Structure 1
Amino acid sequence: MTTAPGRAVVIGGGIAGVTAALRLADAGTRVTLLEGRPRLGGLAFSFRRGDLTVDNGQHVYLRCCTAYRWFLERLGATDLAPLQDRLDVPVLDVAAPGGPRLGRITRGALPVPLHLAGGLARYPHLSLAERARVARAALALKKLDPADPALDGVDFATWLGRHGQSPRAVAALWDLVGVATLNARAPQASMALAAMVFRTGLLSEPGAADIGWARVPLGDVHDTLARKALDEAGVHTELSARVRHIGRADDGSWRIDTGTGPLDADAVVLAVPQREAHALLPAGALDDPDRLLDIATAPILNVHVLYDRKVLRRPFFAALGTPVQWVFDRTGAAGVTEGQYLALSQSAVQDEIDDPVAALRERYLPELERLLPAARGARVRDFFVTRERTATFAPAPGVGRLRPGARTHAPGLYLAGAWTATGWPATMEGAVRSGFSAADAALSALGRRHRHPQEEAA
């Protein structure tokens, strides 16, 4: 006698939803994936602008992002988003005494925490005394437990101040990393999430912070290859399918109304942003569903510049003493054959997310000329911006108590998304982990035997 495969519907085709659908299908469940947009990928996608293939934003991951690395492998995309052999982040300070100065954040092969000692000793953007205090703070950070609820109520800046970190050290190191990973500056960031980022990325193992990013358009990975993987797994995918209502059918199963006819399921994974989830949750699914509305969002601005010549000779760099944060060369991925295409990734930009393009052009082009002397004589062939006003959840102190787990009080209904209680900030890694949690909870309820991806990789 064989067990019925079970029916599951995953609502939302971002990274979390695709992960959940693949996990469910790999375990033998019949899966339908519903996505309201005409594509997969959520907020990590590509679009066409004339001859350019443009990513809406620059997304990177680290070697410690084991769940996202599983995701890339499952899609057959590992070679399309390779990791650095060893952490190396060029950091250019244009306000340094005597003119622009280049430094690097690097790591060695020694055990933790000695792997960072050599790079910190050579980092020119901090004084000798500041480097020593950074080292002591890092050792104190390593002793923290990010899961300690008390840390969630403290802001990162307060903790840094208590551990002797100067404003310069915060700007040149802690916020340099933290703004990019948390999408918040130290005063607005939960200490629990900051501790998780720095302990896992810099203090867990020597290669944990090695950086990877897609050398092809994000849509090639999160849409094209994701669709192929879903098809091969037997998942039925419906795009441009907006869910209107989730309720119980007469037989006790779940009924999903998309406006084109009902779908019945034994398990539902709701993998949409928190406000959409709040609108769709049936009564009683959470003790306090309104807490989802208290999870604020934070924007990310991306500035795109196409020059008529090459102005940058490294794949990326970070900047100090300027509004510019991180600059990536996306020439090859965008299909540019003449000139160079740079993408500026600007996080924690609540004060300029709605600024007109003309104002942003006036602000950022002179800054790029300060950073890149070769840009001073180059012609700008195109300048445009992409704005994600709700790019991530805001990692503010206290957010941890608002983030729900995968299980709800409604049997057979599960939540996924980077905003759920993954322990991670709003990253691609957090999204995949949420998909794991929701799918594994559903499979357990369905009586399906399954193994967690980390167990499979062991």
Structure 2
Amino acid sequence: MSGRVPVRSRSAVVVGGGLAGLTAALRLSEAGLRVTLLETRPRLGGLAFSFRRGELTVDNGQHVFLRCCTAYRGLIERLGAGGQVAIQPRLDVPVLSVEHGRHRLGRLRRAALPVPLHLAASLATYPHLSALGRLRVVRGALALQRLDLADPALDGTSFGDWLRAHGQNAETIDALWDLVGIATLNARADQVSLALAAMVFKTGLLSDPGASDIGFAAVPLGAVHHDAALAELARAEVKVLLRAKAVELKTITTEGGPQHVVRLESGELLTADVVVLAGAQDAAAALLPADAIDGQHRLAELGTAPILNVHVVYDRQVLRRPFFAALGSPVQWVFDRTAHSGLAQSRPGAQYLALSQSAVTDEIELPVAELRARYLPELERLLPAARGAEVLDFFVTRERTATFDPAPGTAALRPHARTKVPGLLLAGSWTATGWPATMEGAVRSGHAAADAALAQTGARVPVDRGDGRWPR
């Protein structure tokens, strides 16, 4: 006899109901643990959620994923929500600029050809780059392909410095590298670790022809990350406590091994064999026992970066595309949210646009009136149909700590799932997933934490298929 407690008698508490916590809770439950999931907010989903504003259902921000985000797609299938998301048949990004009153529309789209030829035709006709600029981009892409993502030295270099050292200039950085990088990394090239940038571009654009195809939720995010998740957690017999804040974590020694005691703000105590801290980096740091991880005193150095979302409702249609990216404008990415929000039913003919603005530290605290004065004229400049339209509503949502700061040197600050305390694990997009702060990274961290916990308890870890998606 091994003397191990049967897995079915073991318990787990997962602190945090974002995508990392949802993943960890479901995986632990599937392995036979009794799981309690705690979430401070009144809803699940973390920073990818919806709320009501009058007759509108509003996503706090526009969250997209790529076909290469296999872990996130696996979670969506696990939640039974595969029919609530859609992925482009082929990458197709309209890119709009206005110079001297003249509109130029380019497209970044792929053909049914192997890498890197899948983007060649699109690049050859991309109007936002000169002929020399296109050759520079090819040179940069070929150099990126040669990088070894396992090389730790990459994290000490900024992406901007590397780009300039490999023939890139302001034209190519603005028109391509930052166009993609700001949206995926939440920082400009000069502020981004080469390791993270190379991972994004090699995985998304230079691995498989279809890797970069863009996916969206076809319904409000809350319908997937809260409604579908809550139903699936119930089926998995996970106990979910909303509006439940963990304020203290202690570990005690018993004859059967270490036990963790989580104290809630209400005073309730929860005892568990396994605890997964799956909240934001500051929340996890506040609960970690002293010296639980190497370099714990440096966690505060892992900074944060904001994302601003600007929401505009017009009395008529002003955009005839699902989305576009803008160049030479403070506007970055614009998405049509009319159908998703319910506006099409409540006010036929009106249109709701959402602007996703990343790496905007200088704007995140600006008053709404100032943001309105900044962005409405820009939308009119980019979209002539907006010039005669009435603005029915204008509001903003601010995620001040939307992501960790992906600066050079970040890798050394991101902890792994295992801590020095048996049965205490970390999860979250800010942990050492190798990915930037994305929904994909969050889900992968949930898998890593659950698998590490199961290995420590002696439970059978479900076989991973090797692509990061939910094991079958």
For the aligned pair, the TM-score class normalised by the smaller chain equals: over 0.9
Alpha-carbon distance between aligned partners in 2 of 1:308 and 1:137, rounded to the nearest angstrom:
44
SS at match of 1:417: coil
2:69 matched residue in structure 1: 65
Aligned to 2:443: 432
The structure 2 residue matched to 1:386, chosen from 397, 411, 423, is 397
Is 2:233 the counterpart of 1:227? no
Is the aligned partner of 1:156 residue 2:163? no
Q: Aligned partners of 1:354, 1:217: CA distance in 2, in Å?
A: 26
Q: Letter of the 1:312 partner, please give it.
A: L
Q: How many Å separate the matches in 1 of 2:131 and 2:270?
A: 64
Q: Secondary structure in 1 aligned to 2:86?
A: coil
Q: What amino acid sits opposite 1:191 in the alignment?
A: L
Whole-angstrom CA distance in 1 between matches of 2:307 and 2:397: 9
Choose from 305, 308, 319 the match for 1:312.
319
Post-superposition Cα deviations, 1:402-440, rounded to whole Å, max 9, x if no partner, equal 000000000110000000000000000000000000000
What amino acid is the match of 1:266? D
> What is the aligned partner in structure 1 of residue 33 from structure 2?
29
| One-letter amino acid of the counterpart of residue 263, structure 1 | L
- Specify the SS of the correspondent of 1:100: strand
State the Cα distance separating 1:148 from its structure 2 match: 1.4
**Distance in 1 (alpha carbons) for counterparts of 2:229 and 2:435:** 23
Normalised by the size of structure 2, how large is the TM-score? 0.95
Paired position in structure 2 for 1:127: 130
2:150 maps to which residue? 147
Q: Is the 8 A contact 1:32 1:237 kept in 2?
A: yes
Q: How far did residue 454 of structure 1 move?
A: 3.0
Matched position secondary structure for 1:311: coil
Deviation at 1:250, TM superposition (A): 4.9
Gaps of 5+ in 2: none
Kindly state the Cα deviation for residue 451 of structure 1 after the two structures are TM-superposed.
2.0
Q: Does 1:279 align with 2:296?
A: no
Q: Could you tell me whether the CA contact under 8 Å between 1:147 and 1:423 is conserved in 2?
A: no
Give, as a single letter, the amino acid of the residue that structure 2 aligns with 1:261: E
Match of 1:323 in 2: 330
The residue type paired with residue 260 of structure 2 is W
Q: Aligned-pair distance for 1:452?
A: 4.3
List aligned pairs for 1:224-373, cutoff 5 A. 224-251=227-254, 252-258=258-264, 259-337=266-344, 338=347, 339-373=350-384
2:62 partner amino acid: Q
Shift of 1:457: 5.8
8 Å CA contact 2:175, 2:327 repeated in 1: yes
> CA separation in 2, counterparts of 1:427 and 1:214?
15
Letter in 1 for 2:178: D
Does 2:64 correspond to 1:53?
no
Please report the TM-score for the alignment, with normalisation by the length of structure 1.
0.98
Please state how far the C-alpha of 1:284 moved relative to its aligned partner. Answer: 2.4
1:190 maps to 2:226:
no
- Distance (whole Å) between structure 1 residues aligned to residue 151 and residue 215 of structure 2: 29
> Distance between the aligned counterparts of 1:79 and 1:162, measured in 2?
45
Distance in 2 (alpha carbons) for counterparts of 1:10 and 1:121? 50
User: Is 1:451 the equivalent of 2:454?
Assistant: no
TM-aligned CA deviation for residue 146 of structure 1:
2.2
Residue identity opposite 2:413 in structure 1: L
- Distance of 2:102 and 2:471 partners within structure 1: 49
Corresponding letter in the other structure for 2:49: F
Conserved in 1, the CA contact under 8 Å of 2:343 and 2:351? Answer: yes
Which of residues 409, 413, 437 is equivalent to 2:420? Answer: 409
SS where residue 244 of structure 1 aligns? strand
Residue matched to 2:433: 422
Q: Is the 8 A contact 1:87 1:207 kept in 2?
A: yes
Partner-residue secondary structure (3-state), 1:205: coil
> What is the aligned counterpart of 1:397 among 397, 404, 408?
408
Deviation (angstroms), 1:249 = 3.2
The offset of 1:81, in angstroms, is: 1.3
Letter of the structure 1 residue corresponding to residue 150 of structure 2: A
- Unmatched runs of 5 consecutive residues or more in structure 1: none
The equivalent position to 1:168 in structure 2, one of 127, 148, 171, is 171
1:262 deviation in Å? 1.1
| Residue identity opposite 1:60 in structure 2 | V
CA distance in 2, matches of 1:8, 1:229: 17
Contact 1:70–1:453 (8 Å) recurs in 2: no
SS in 1 for 2:129: coil
For 1:175 and 1:77, locate their aligned partners in 2 and report how far apart those are by CA, in whole Å. 32
The SS at the match of 2:261 is strand
Q: CA deviation digits over 1:78-117, x for unaligned, max 9?
A: 221110000000000112x671100000111111111111
SS in 1 for 2:246: coil
Q: CA deviation at 1:21?
A: 0.3
CA contact (8 A) 1:249 1:264 kept: no
Distance (Å, rounded) in 2 between the aligned partners of 1:396 and 1:454? 32
SS state at 1:199 partner? helix
Residue pair 2:50, 2:60 contacting (<8 A) in 1 also? yes
Match of 1:74 in 2: 78
Matched residue SS, 2:13:
strand
Counterpart code for 2:201: F
3-state secondary structure, aligned to 2:128: coil
**Closer, same or farther: CA 371–78 of 1 in aligned 2, 3 Å:** same
CA distance in 2, matches of 1:268, 1:313: 48
Corresponding residue SS for 2:324: strand
Structure 2 distance, partners of 1:228, 1:100, is 47
Percent identical among aligned pairs is 65
Deviation at 1:346, TM superposition (A): 0.1
How far has the Cα of 1:291 moved from its partner?
A: 1.5
**Residues 136-175 of structure 1: per-residue CA shift (max 9 Å, x gap):** 1101101112231111010011011011112011001000
